[in-house]
Structure 1
């Protein structure tokens, strides 16, 4: 029997489908048991009746109609009274939620009696005295003695039981080390297999290599590898690639189920998806969910899986994601209250994009464009508004390309740099913050770059093409307009970069996003009057250089605007035709994007106004009722007034100002003070607001791990293994926090019971 067969009953189980992973007779519902084997009897002797008692209810399945009256099983059946009036617990009596009947636990294990409590179950709730009769019966007492004896180990096969326990501990010790290695490798995205999967081979993978390394310091593992390593199929060692893959799948499912359990507890959630091709040229669709953690009350984003895409249409992706969340994850999709994607047409399209399809499925899943991508579009719109703005970044990229394409040129460049100088950086089409680093690098090392270009130009040993490129770039860098624009973009992009970094925080809320855009808009407006400042900074670098005069011949076209500009000097032309259009483009684009987040957040703004009047609260609640009629009603008005009073009193002696409290601060008050029952509706609305996804940065981060896990050397990896390893790597914090002792114990016990007679 191979290893996969040895542990087939312990394959990863979802939180909703135990039939797929646990044997029928190991379910905690006695009514579903069939004939028990010796191993299964031993299993339940160790577990005891508490695992399957269900005496807490509910007993809805036990309904019986007697004389036109419904009678149910009751808790009193499990807690009868003695003759002296004292209550005691019938530990041996268990209830089956599936059949609605009660059973005798010990008789199910050790009695051949045909009484209902020992076989098909008891449900005659009018004659519960029969349960008392069974309690005093010889069959029940005999079965109880047998059960208690087996629990103590004083059995005929006690030596066998002791051997099984020793063997179980042996296998458990080995599996604990296997699991520890899998966790260490998975969270780092390391490959497991090598060219030759045998112990002692220098071409074996990291998994076997780490086992051999640990075995040098742990005699137990060294002996185990010596006895079981390289034995081939048919000999169970729990060291092979088969058991490794089995445990990867088991552990990944446990990580995912932990996330899903917390999501169901939280209730509201939002969704983000994004796609990218992997090394096998397969489009992978990442699925990210956001909800308020029931553990600490903070919004949190979690990766769930990669889905292999067959089509790029919005409808196809929406159906794929919806089917995964509802059918595989068993999530109530009606609780989805937000979605956020990048600005691709198939994602954010108003008619056929995934956001529109999702809205048709759930009209309350509000779409919010990704804040990071929106900020990129703002910058790109400004950079493309005029030729001078485009030329600045073209020159910046040209500088990087010129030096980075030759190790000799790079060495010449570094020879003119100080120790703390920043080398030129490349621009990026997708990451606008790269523009900030690139422009800052040119300003920081401007003198060194100029000197290096001059040296390459005058060096007669250099190729003519190199000398020509050097002087061309040098002439462009010494233009006054370039220097003014370089200072302008460096100043603006530095703030854009800081804002972009803050918007990438997984815990950022819609309200903070709105404020970030508003503050950035104010910053841009304040920069309109700084043209003289940028000009002065440029003169510090180029004191002997001035604006270029127009040298091109004008076309004879009747244009009053061009005629007016023609009469202006070079400085005014540059300010009017370049500086002002850039600032106008930034302002208009920011205002357009900011309005989206303002509109999404305005319905919740009254919650943070602790001094709001009743009329303001009523208007805010009314607007929320129209947007979320299934989540809000007008009874929220009085609760919000009470909550504002509570927060004012709770903050009276604190350092926080009332006006500076955010939605997250308000939810922290409820969560920390444990006043959810006092303000249930306020808590729910704040939780709904905080769960809204405002960026798909977590999806972009998952692509970084995808490139590590499925690299050019691991292109044959199956989709299931890719998803499992990605989940364990991306959610490494959760992987570390979970305990896998139950899985290890069950697998070890399964192996220990396989005795040969």
Structure 2
């Protein structure tokens, strides 16, 4: 995690001046310090243009650096300086002239000699020899003549004054340079402190992220220094400080100066660290989405503890490795939960994060009218903005609705789950009765060893998808214990008559019919629950989801056999015998015609094995199959008809490919993709790759480099894998 951009670097002007004890330098003008081969390599720091290294900087600090580096004394190999014709002879500058002349420098741009101290200090004294300061000396034959050339210049009064000024300058460090050195020291100390605090913040952010991942609360009720429980965040930080000396020192500084030293432990700091961490993660997510180009969204809303609606926005895309990624993009409060209000919020979020709605290729919501409404729902309003944003009704929600529909449409089933809910409310609605249920379990299971887990009755829920399967399983395992609890309440004088009467009524409801319903739904719901949990995988693709729904329908079709019902009936008989329930053929009561207005109506009490099979078991299986086929048919999602042409590609499925391509006009070359499809189909055939699933096939294509060879097919596979399957990720975001 890179947080550097949140730590602003300090500028020298923002630092206090630290007085230095060393206010002078020992620099002197010597042959070793000035006669060094100085071509002023760092002149580029002052002037980048060619020849500009002879321009003296105006800035005082840069001028000090310029003087520090001294004359520009260029030495060319083999004295290969430019030659000039003088009186029939070629003459040139000589490198040995530098010896004993520390002031001498050479300008390669106009082939001339200059005097460094006169150039630098002469203009300030308004006294200088123009030849050795501006024009440059080029009379090479007279350079060494007495009272001419170098000799004449070195003996001049102006030169002597400039040399003295140069020597004094190097002995006495300028005030602004001293200030600069103090600032450097201050900046160094400040940077060390800054780095130390930065390391502390990194550590604290690690604690923040860990608590967030574990879904743990941050703060305690009383976070004062003397509090025994300061909350999870401060507790963990103090624990780490025992083994991390820098953190211990940091905490001690904060305690010693709570108003002047930032401890980064306040609620505000915690919120900022959470916010910054989220921003950095979100930036990575957005960058990956933009690389993927196409993406889909899943939305869901829920009220928080303050009764304010929170909107969860999850994005789904395929990364460069072919992996399906679902990430939480934003969790925001919404004041307007109408379809128009939600769409407005989505557009604003896209705009804020730099995402284009034109790149949206899928929508995944539950089936409520606000979200899935054909005309005024969110899905249609977004389709108006982008027709390619294909809507998928959440598969997990649809499967849950299948179970709910079945429970409502069959009388026996509806009554069975009604009794189950009353049993839950009766036992778990009282700590005393719950304790009795637990105690009797412990006594009954004591002989079975420690492997038997104490169970708790589960409540039924239309929104928690696995609730019915869990409730049936717990009740099946503890039905004998439950009856003992009811009998204990009925015959124990400690309970009042109302409670005892309720216990008596509930015990009478647990008859053979109830036992048969219990074993039947425990088995069926286990099957459905496996598929439901599979549908909640974030890397699931729509093709695989459809195949699993088809497998569920096929499996339920096999349940209609005589042998399977006999197996369930025998199991119900054993349970009934174990709990002391005997089956008796009751008098069949005819339902009045005025009440018999349901096409799925069956008698309240069944009389006989065959009637139970036909009017209860077979009816339930048919209702589930009918609901599955209705909610998951290709007619409800036409795109599904053509997707299987990619799993795997086959030449005879070219027409399905054309239909599939029609949903994504403009995203790839519709003509060229057919040629790629035929080539890939042949390659898959020769490679003996069977029907391994669209996602696994695409991962294989990416790994082997095949996806790059067929760019249009590559896009189509990514588009299909981008389609959402469920909105489970939104549900998980509310939980965590």
The verdict on a shared fold, with TM-score over 0.5 as the criterion, is yes
Specify whether residues 572 and 293 from structure 1 end up closer, same or farther in structure 2 by C-alpha distance, changes over 3 A only.
same
1:403 to 415, 420, 427: 427
2:469 to 425, 436, 445: 436
**1:472 deviation in Å?**
1.6
**What is the SS of the residue equivalent to 1:276?**
strand
For 1:356-413, what per-residue CA distance to the aligned partner results, in whole angstroms no more than 9, with x for missing partners?
A: 1111111011100011110110001111112211111112122222222233323332
1:519 maps onto 2:542 in alignment = no
1:595 to 617, 620, 633: 633
Between the aligned partners of 2:625 and 2:63, the Cα distance in structure 1 is 79
1:635 maps onto 2:672 in alignment = yes
Contact 1:338 1:365 in 2 (8 A): yes
Q: Computing the radius of gyration over CA atoms, which structure comes out larger, 1 or 2?
A: 2
**1:621 deviation in Å?**
2.8
Specify whether residues 141 and 572 from structure 1 end up closer, same or farther in structure 2 by C-alpha distance, changes over 3 A only.
farther
Between the aligned partners of 2:681 and 2:499, the Cα distance in structure 1 is 70
Specify whether residues 211 and 171 from structure 1 end up closer, same or farther in structure 2 by C-alpha distance, changes over 3 A only.
farther
Q: Which residue of structure 2 lines up, in the alignment, with residue 458 of structure 1?
A: 491
**What is the SS of the residue equivalent to 1:135?**
coil
Q: Which residue of structure 1 lines up, in the alignment, with residue 681 of structure 2?
A: 644
2:616 to 572, 578, 589: 578
1:223 to 243, 249, 254: 249
Q: Which runs of structure 2 are paired with 1:653-692 in the superposition (5 Å)?
A: 658-692=689-723
Q: Which residue of structure 2 lines up, in the alignment, with residue 533 of structure 1?
A: 567
**1:678 deviation in Å?**
1.0
Q: Which runs of structure 2 are paired with 1:75-86 in the superposition (5 Å)?
A: none
**What is the SS of the residue equivalent to 1:677?**
helix
Deviates more, 1:688-697 or 1:153-162: 153-162
Between the aligned partners of 1:644 and 1:473, the Cα distance in structure 2 is 63
Q: Which residue of structure 2 lines up, in the alignment, with residue 367 of structure 1?
A: 391
**1:683 deviation in Å?**
1.3
Specify whether residues 675 and 141 from structure 1 end up closer, same or farther in structure 2 by C-alpha distance, changes over 3 A only.
farther
Q: Which residue of structure 2 lines up, in the alignment, with residue 324 of structure 1?
A: 349
Between the aligned partners of 1:362 and 1:537, the Cα distance in structure 2 is 55
Between the aligned partners of 1:621 and 1:502, the Cα distance in structure 2 is 28
2:662 to 626, 643, 647: 626
**1:201 deviation in Å?**
5.5
Q: Which residue of structure 2 lines up, in the alignment, with residue 715 of structure 1?
A: none
Between the aligned partners of 1:219 and 1:681, the Cα distance in structure 2 is 58
Specify whether residues 164 and 205 from structure 1 end up closer, same or farther in structure 2 by C-alpha distance, changes over 3 A only.
farther
Question: What is the TM-score of this pair, normalised by structure 1?
Answer: 0.69
Between the aligned partners of 2:412 and 2:63, the Cα distance in structure 1 is 88
For 1:654-703, what per-residue CA distance to the aligned partner results, in whole angstroms no more than 9, with x for missing partners?
A: xxxx3322111121112212344312111111111111111000100111
Specify whether residues 230 and 281 from structure 1 end up closer, same or farther in structure 2 by C-alpha distance, changes over 3 A only.
farther
1:174 to 197, 211, 224: 197
1:377 maps onto 2:401 in alignment = yes
Q: Which residue of structure 1 lines up, in the alignment, with residue 136 of structure 2?
A: none
1:298 to 323, 326, 342: 323
**1:166 deviation in Å?**
4.1
Q: Which residue of structure 2 lines up, in the alignment, with residue 53 of structure 1?
A: none
Between the aligned partners of 1:194 and 1:420, the Cα distance in structure 2 is 33
Q: Which residue of structure 2 lines up, in the alignment, with residue 484 of structure 1?
A: 516
Deviates more, 1:257-266 or 1:214-223: 214-223
Between the aligned partners of 2:346 and 2:723, the Cα distance in structure 1 is 18
Specify whether residues 522 and 143 from structure 1 end up closer, same or farther in structure 2 by C-alpha distance, changes over 3 A only.
farther
Unaligned runs of 5+ residues in structure 2 are: 15-40, 70-172, 446-451
1:270 maps onto 2:296 in alignment = yes
Contact 2:301 2:311 in 1 (8 A): yes
Specify whether residues 183 and 388 from structure 1 end up closer, same or farther in structure 2 by C-alpha distance, changes over 3 A only.
same
Deviates more, 1:592-601 or 1:638-647: 592-601
Between the aligned partners of 2:370 and 2:432, the Cα distance in structure 1 is 45
Between the aligned partners of 2:207 and 2:251, the Cα distance in structure 1 is 20
Q: Which residue of structure 1 lines up, in the alignment, with residue 365 of structure 2?
A: 341
**1:457 deviation in Å?**
2.1
What value does the CA root-mean-square deviation take over the aligned residues?
3.8
Contact 1:182 1:207 in 2 (8 A): no
Specify whether residues 229 and 140 from structure 1 end up closer, same or farther in structure 2 by C-alpha distance, changes over 3 A only.
farther
Between the aligned partners of 2:341 and 2:253, the Cα distance in structure 1 is 53
Specify whether residues 408 and 642 from structure 1 end up closer, same or farther in structure 2 by C-alpha distance, changes over 3 A only.
same
Between the aligned partners of 2:725 and 2:429, the Cα distance in structure 1 is 39
Specify whether residues 269 and 550 from structure 1 end up closer, same or farther in structure 2 by C-alpha distance, changes over 3 A only.
farther
Between the aligned partners of 2:632 and 2:405, the Cα distance in structure 1 is 15
**What is the SS of the residue equivalent to 1:416?**
helix
**1:299 deviation in Å?**
0.4
Contact 1:286 1:699 in 2 (8 A): yes
Question: What is the TM-score of this pair, normalised by structure 2?
Answer: 0.71
**What is the SS of the residue equivalent to 2:638?**
helix
1:695 maps onto 2:729 in alignment = no
Q: Which residue of structure 2 lines up, in the alignment, with residue 509 of structure 1?
A: 541
For 1:240-280, what per-residue CA distance to the aligned partner results, in whole angstroms no more than 9, with x for missing partners?
A: 55554444332221111011001111111110111011111
**1:461 deviation in Å?**
3.5
1:137 to 38, 42, 52: 52
Q: Which residue of structure 2 lines up, in the alignment, with residue 59 of structure 1?
A: none
Between the aligned partners of 1:149 and 1:446, the Cα distance in structure 2 is 92
